[in-house]
Amino acid sequence: MKLQDRTILITGGTSGIGKALVKHLAPHNKMIVVIARNPIKMEKLSEEFPNVKTYRCSLSNKLEVESTLSEITDNHPEISVVMNNAGIQVTPTFLDSDFSFDTIDNEIIINLAAPIWICALMLGPLLNLKEPAAFMNVTSGLGLYPKKSSAVYCATKAGLHNFTKSFRYQLEDTLINVHEAIMPMVDTPMTKGRGNGKISVDDAAVAIIKGIESGYSEIYVGKAKLIPLMSRISPTLMAAIMKAG
Ligand SMILES: NC(=O)c1ccc[n+]([C@@H]2O[C@H](COP(=O)([O-])OP(=O)(O)OC[C@H]3O[C@@H](n4cnc5c(N)ncnc54)[C@H](OP(=O)(O)O)[C@@H]3O)[C@@H](O)[C@H]2O)c1
């Protein structure tokens, strides 16, 4: 499925991987609809890309998500691709002094509940098109093999991985493809100051777009490509490598 001449919805399109997706998709498509929170970044994005329309919505608020998605589908019934990219990562372990109990629900809602809500709310509009369409959910290698820190994050990505697979099974007899982009560490504000060997946001976005256009259900990006192979050779070694993060 070519990502050309379409209207595409991207959550978290104002930063990191989402912004790179906007940069690579905007020149070839009719319109990119972006959901984010920060009004300054949203305004800058619209100035940079004239065919980007932004909607302010906090993905942690279910009522806000429902009303924003209703407004978006009224204004842009032609949306044929939905990219659930927005996410947050809380890094402390449960033993760390800066770990906060209050972060748990928010991380689960933004990373897992919100993309599921959006899949549910956008399914009808995508089916109504009666033409090829797609969902793409951004997960992580950490959803398959968790690291020691960021336990809730790893759990949300594992949940989104399984949801995406099951949702794909449900849509098998429709014209809608369901993709999952399984990311390695990418150089974004989320990973600032940690990790080595990060790939650039441009490489990440290009790989996701190529994966969708090539029809891959599970798009393993960069070093994440090693996961299926290593899982066959030595799952124990793979788990040990990923544990260190
Ligand atoms: N970076 C990596 O190494 C890596 C690896 C694996 C997977 N991923 C996944 O890739 C996706 C993008 O990550 P990134 O590194 O590009 O992150 P990022 O640079 O921190 O950007 C996150 C985006 O999500 C939006 N967002 C966050 N919370 C939101 C909320 N409550 N409501 C609405 N929008 C919200 C932000 O918008 P505002 O600033 O306006 O809130 C921002 O546009 C995430 O799902 C992440 O888990 C990243």
Tell me the mean pLDDT in the region 197-210. Answer: 97
How many domains does the chain contain in total? 1
Residue with CA at minimum distance from ligand 1 atom 5: 185
Place of tokens 């209703």: 70
Q: Is the pLDDT assigned to residue 121 strictly greater than 90?
A: yes
Q: Is the pLDDT assigned to residue 33 strictly greater than 90?
A: yes
Per the CB < 8 A criterion, the answer to whether 205 and 24 are in contact is yes
Q: Is the pLDDT assigned to residue 45 strictly greater than 90?
A: yes
Going from the Cα of 16 to the center of ligand 1, the distance in angstroms, rounded, reads 7
Question: CA-CA distance, 32 to 29, in Å (whole number)?
Answer: 7
Question: CA-CA distance, 211 to 104, in Å (whole number)?
Answer: 32
CB of 183 closer than 6 angstroms to any ligand 1 atom: yes
Question: CA-CA distance, 190 to 138, in Å (whole number)?
Answer: 14
179 is a domain residue: yes
173 is a domain residue: yes
CB of 54 closer than 6 angstroms to any ligand 1 atom: no
Tell me the average pLDDT of the chain.
97
User: For residue 84, what pLDDT is reported?
Assistant: 99
Per-residue model confidence as pLDDT tens digits over 173-199 = 999 999 999 999 999 999 999 988 999
Of 108, 164, 179, 188, which is best to mutate to test ligand 1, by the most ligand atoms within 8 angstroms of its C-beta? 188
Per-residue model confidence as pLDDT tens digits over 66-91 = 999 999 999 999 999 999 999 999 99
User: For residue 142, what pLDDT is reported?
Assistant: 97
User: For residue 57, what pLDDT is reported?
Assistant: 98
- Integer-rounded Cα radius of gyration of the chain: 17
62 is a domain residue: yes
Going from the Cα of 88 to the center of ligand 1, the distance in angstroms, rounded, reads 5
2 is a domain residue: no
- Enclosing domain of residue 109: 7-243
Query: What values do phi and psi take at 75, rounded to 5?
Result: -80, -30
170 is a domain residue: yes
Hey, which residues does 181 pair with through a beta bridge? 138, 219
Closest ligand 1 atom number to CA of residue 37:
40
Q: Is the pLDDT assigned to residue 245 strictly greater than 90?
A: no
78 is a domain residue: yes
1 is a domain residue: no
233 is a domain residue: yes
CB of 68 closer than 6 angstroms to any ligand 1 atom: no
Per-residue model confidence as pLDDT tens digits over 143-161 = 999 999 999 999 999 999 9
User: For residue 195, what pLDDT is reported?
Assistant: 84
Question: CA-CA distance, 226 to 41, in Å (whole number)?
Answer: 34
Give all strands of the β-sheet with 79-84 in edge-to-edge order.
52-56, 31-36, 7-11, 79-84, 133-140, 176-183, 218-220
Per the CB < 8 A criterion, the answer to whether 145 and 242 are in contact is yes
User: For residue 93, what pLDDT is reported?
Assistant: 95
Confidence bin at 11 (pLDDT 50/70/90)? very high
Of how many residues is the chain composed?
A: 245
Per the CB < 8 A criterion, the answer to whether 114 and 11 are in contact is yes
Looking up residue 134, the CATH number of its domain turns out to be: 3.40.50.720
Residue with CA at minimum distance from ligand 1 atom 47: 87
